């Protein structure tokens, strides 16, 4: 079985309305607005801020380039800030009357609610990105008209696209329009689901006799009839091309705020929030318990408030890449967050070095400990 990659189209569940992901998202704060994606949620926040052009924006130096996109599109004044290990923001008391972007990385609260309140008390506007920690309710105890909480929902939920912004003011200037051009991602999700159903012929579990896992999986693969195998590979190439084209188009076009696709809302209404949280925490705890080398863990388990993905830190980029290639060879696809050299200045050495050494392991609700035992086997094998 493959592990990782974007979500396939989910199966709907027979759930109570108050257990749906939609119910959870819409009861965190009464003031919310659904958008097409996370970068549009950021841009909507910026558009809503009075005199935004004359404010300095302090951005974390460990971030995805898609987060930079709305700031650059509005030609805003950007400065980066540094971090202490592990990814603790260094935000001095001299930052005032500015815009500050904070990211809760990997489900860990980057700074406390009290520290955020102190930044707000200094006249700052805070955009808190909880894409990695939307399942952490604690952040919603914060209430301030200069606080925007945003999330890219597809990081946690199996939807073609979607973002959300929470605000605490009487009026919010929304410019959302009818969503367009997301249909290719829907097709990719459906085809990926079909592919994975048929791909289960390759599913296997680690052997206790110590046989090399990559050789074992190769044995299974050679037993699949050539016609079926070739057809599956063609399907995979096609849905990956649809996915990459969809992602590339986001960078080619300005991030004009659009409303969330209705299909995404329909999915959110028919999947269980409780199941998602339970399975993700179960998988996270399993990996923390079973991975032998505790030095790989970037964070302590107790610090993780939301089970998003498991970040592992290796001693060097070469060591990280060797493990990445071994996992990919065995149908495990670990995301790399992020290649900072393209857009973060070279003086941010800690963040750029961290980006070269981090490997992330999927722990989402598609899997269970039995399936993830394949990951443990490989990590402990070398």
Report all structural domains of the chain as residue ranges with CATH numbers, in order of start. 20-166 (3.40.640.10)
Rounded to whole angstroms, the Cα distance separating 90 from 83 reads 5
Query: 114 is written with which tokens?
Result: 């009290």
Give residue 158's region: left, alpha or beta (phi > 0; psi -120 to 50): beta
Which of 143-147, 169-173, 289-293, 351-355 is the least confident region? 169-173
Instruction: Please state the rounded mean pLDDT for residues 317-345.
Output: 95
| Backbone φ and ψ of 351, nearest 5° | -65, -45
Instruction: Identify the pLDDT of residue 230.
Output: 61
Q: What is the mean pLDDT of residues 283-309?
A: 98
The mean pLDDT of the chain is 91
CA gap 358, 320 in Å, rounded? 7
Query: pLDDT value at position 158?
Result: 98
Is the separation of the CB atoms in 44 and 33 below 8 Å? Answer: yes
For 321, other C-beta atoms within 10 Å of its C-beta total 15
Look at residue 220 and tell me whether its pLDDT is greater than 80. no
Classify 72 as helix, strand or coil: helix
DSSP letters, 318-356, are HHHHHHHHHHHHTTEE------GGGTS-TT-HHHHHHHH
Q: In the predicted model, is pLDDT for residue 324 greater than 80?
A: yes
What is the 3 state secondary structure string of 151-184? EEHHHCCCCCCCEEEECCCCCCCCCCECCCCCHH
Q: What is the rounded CA–CA span in Å between residue 229 and residue 196? A: 12
Question: Looking at residue 232, what is its pLDDT?
Answer: 85
Closest CA to 106 of 315, 287, 246: 287
Q: Residue 365: name the closest of 287, 271, 298, 297 by CA.
A: 271
Q: What is the 3-state secondary structure (H, E, C) of 179-238?
A: CCCCHHHHHHHHHHHHHHHHHHHHCCCCCCCCCCHHHHHHHHHHCCCHHHHHHHHHHHHH
Collapse the DSSP code of 125 into the 3-class scheme (helix H, G, I; strand E, B; otherwise coil) and give the result: strand
Give the number of other Cβ atoms within 10 Å of residue 271's Cβ. 21
What is the rounded CA–CA span in Å between residue 80 and residue 145? 24
Lowest mean pLDDT segment, chosen from 184-188, 213-217, 276-280, 370-374: 213-217
pLDDT confidence of residue 380: 96
Q: Has residue 204 got a pLDDT over 60?
A: no
Structure tokens at 29: 């704060």
User: In the β-sheet with 99-103, what is the strand arrangement from edge to edge?
Assistant: 32-35, 163-166, 147-152, 125-129, 99-103, 56-60, 77-81
Burial zone of 209 (CB within 10 Å; 0-12 exposed, 13-18 middle, 19+ buried): exposed
Q: How deeply is 12 buried, as exposed, middle or buried, from its count of CB atoms within 10 A (0-12, 13-18, 19+)?
A: exposed
Residues 246-270: what's their mean pLDDT? 93
Using the predicted structure, report yes or no on whether residue 115 has a pLDDT greater than 60. Answer: yes
pLDDT on residue 245: 94
Of 133-137, 239-243, 252-256, 263-267, least confident by mean pLDDT is: 252-256
Show the tokens assigned to 43.
């841009």
């Amino acid at each position: 079985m493959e592990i990782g990659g974007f979500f396939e189209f989910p199966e709907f569940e027979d759930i109570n309305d108050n257990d749906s992901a939609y119910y959870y998202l819409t009861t965190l704060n009464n003031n919310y607005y659904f958008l097409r994606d996370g970068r549009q949620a950021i841009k909507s926040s910026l558009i809503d801020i009075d005199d935004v052009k004359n404010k300095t924006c302090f951005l974390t130096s460990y971030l995805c380039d898609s987060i930079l996109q709305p700031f650059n599109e509005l030609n805003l004044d950007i400065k980066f800030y540094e971090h202490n290990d592990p990814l603790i923001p260094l935000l001095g008391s001299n930052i005032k009357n500015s815009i500050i972007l904070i990211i809760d990385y990997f489900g860990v609260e980057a700074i406390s609610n009290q520290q955020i309140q102190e930044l707000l008390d200094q006249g700052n506007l805070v955009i808190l990105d909880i894409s990695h920690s939307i399942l952490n309710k604690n952040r919603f105890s914060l209430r301030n008209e200069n606080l925007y909480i945003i999330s890219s929902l597809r990081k946690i939920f199996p939807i073609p696209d979607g973002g959300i912004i929470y605000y605490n003011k009487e009026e919010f200037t929304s410019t959302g329009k009818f969503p367009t051009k997301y249909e290719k991602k829907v097709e990719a999700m459906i085809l990926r689901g079909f592919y994975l159903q048929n791909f289960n012929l390759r599913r296997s579990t680690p052997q206790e006799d110590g046989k090399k896992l990559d050789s074992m999986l190769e044995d299974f693969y050679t037993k699949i009839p050539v016609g079926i195998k070739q057809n599956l590979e063609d399907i995979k190439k096609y849905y990956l091309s649809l996915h990459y084209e969809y992602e590339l188009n986001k960078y080619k076009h300005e991030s004009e705020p659009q409303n969330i696709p209705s299909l995404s809302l329909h999915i959110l209404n028919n999947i269980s929030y409780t199941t998602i949280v339970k399975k993700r925490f179960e998988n996270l705890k399993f990996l923390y318990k079973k991975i032998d080398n505790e030095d790989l863990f970037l964070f302590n388990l107790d610090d993780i408030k939301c089970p998003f993905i498991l970040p592992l830190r290796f001693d060097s980029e070469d060591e990280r890449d060797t493990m990445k290639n071994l996992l990919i060879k065995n149908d495990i696809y670990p995301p790399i967050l992020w290649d900072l050299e393209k857009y973060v200045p070279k003086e941010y050495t800690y963040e750029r070095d961290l980006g070269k050494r981090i490997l992330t392991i999927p722990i989402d609700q598609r899997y269970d400990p039995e399936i993830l035992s394949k990951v443990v086997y490989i990590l402990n094998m070398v």
